Amino acid sequence: MAGKTLLRALAGEVLEVPPAWMMRQAGRYLPEYKATRAQAGDFLSLCYTPDLAAEVTLQPIRRFGFDAAILFADILLVPQALGADLWFVTGEGPRLGPVDTAAGVAALKPAGDVHEVLSPVYETLRILSRELPRDVALIGFAGAPWTVATYMIAGRGTPDQAPAHALKDGDRATFEALLERITAATVEYLSAQIDAGAEVVKLFDSWAGSLGAEDFRRYALEPARRIIAELKARHPGVPVIAFPRGAKDAYAGFARATGADCVALDQGVDAEWAARRVQVDGCVQGNLDPSHMVTGGQALVDEVLRIRQAFGGGPHVFNLGHGITPDADPDNVALMLETLRS
């Protein structure tokens, strides 16, 4: 069967060598990224300047020959498009004007009004559709509602998502109204990304693991199911990757329950367990520990081969268990791919 290897794996095909890409593959570990970021002036300007955002998306494809490119953007562009204030503090990360009251949620824009702010992102995708090599798949993405809400409620990233849990437990109506607005906006955003050329979309729920069992079902699994169902209705045949990071045993059955074509696994999941309990429902993605991109050596080689073997009996997309870190060595990325493909 011919075609892009990522799309083949997501369709359930078992390939001798799995397709590979990395979360945050365009980023601060690459000197060419740093140069383009300096040219842009600041992070948000880079996200909203299509020529430069496309350039940093293409850089790891040119350097390493990944099987897929993932749009360069940020999950917090959606809150900004909904009307939340967003800025980045150098060395500290994102800041938002907190949305933690009923009045604050009511003041957000309707979900259908996000496109004016996000239109540069769609132009980036159109550029990439023209410029990517023909065998490289183009991935769009968004943050999942719970994870995006944790930043909007706290006004920043937090180690334990405590402000979001406090709102969820103390004012359930306001919390659910915020989640509803994010969910609807995420559908609009991802649908427009597909219209602009994304061949796959991924839903990042980076803080899903902090939800207890019933809250996980209500606020991680159920929004993912709704988003995927709506995207499938609008765009039949476009695959969706879901990443409920930290889900542990709840990874099992997640694809069945949500309709996801692939479930991405964090590095805390045993690959042999996941092959038995998660891969039985379709494609899995993952799950090399990103620390190997820093340390390299024989341990990296051994782990790549172990993961490839563990998932070799079913559809698999090779990736890290989370994003590559700024202190990673590009030579280790090359070693990972060379080992995987040898």
pLDDT, tens digit (0-9, with 9 covering 90-100), for 173-217 = 999 999 999 999 999 999 999 999 999 999 999 999 999 999 999
Reply yes or no on whether 24 is catalytic. Answer: yes
Reply yes or no on whether 28 is catalytic. Answer: yes
- Domain of 28, CATH number, reads 3.20.20.210
| Residue 178, domain extent | 5-341
Predicted TM-score (pTM) of this structure: 0.98
Reply yes or no on whether 281 is catalytic. Answer: no
- The residue annotated as part of the active site, out of 8, 24, 245, 308, is 24
Reply yes or no on whether 189 is catalytic. Answer: no
Please give the helix or strand (H or E) that residue 205 lies within, else none: strand 200-205
DSSP secondary structure of 239-278:
-EEEEETT-GGGGTTHHHHH--SEEE--TTS-HHHHHHHT
Phi, psi (deg, nearest 5) at residue 265 = -110, 140
- The residue annotated as part of the active site, out of 8, 29, 33, 37, is 37
- The residue annotated as part of the active site, out of 8, 67, 74, 289, is 74
- The residue annotated as part of the active site, out of 28, 63, 218, 341, is 28
d(C-alpha 215, C-alpha 341), whole Å: 40
- The residue annotated as part of the active site, out of 33, 48, 122, 151, is 151
Q: Into how many domains does the chain fold?
A: 1
Please give the helix or strand (H or E) that residue 282 lies within, else none: none
Reply yes or no on whether 218 is catalytic. Answer: no
pLDDT, tens digit (0-9, with 9 covering 90-100), for 30-68 = 999 999 999 999 999 999 999 999 999 999 999 999 999
**Higher pLDDT, residue 91 or 224:** 224
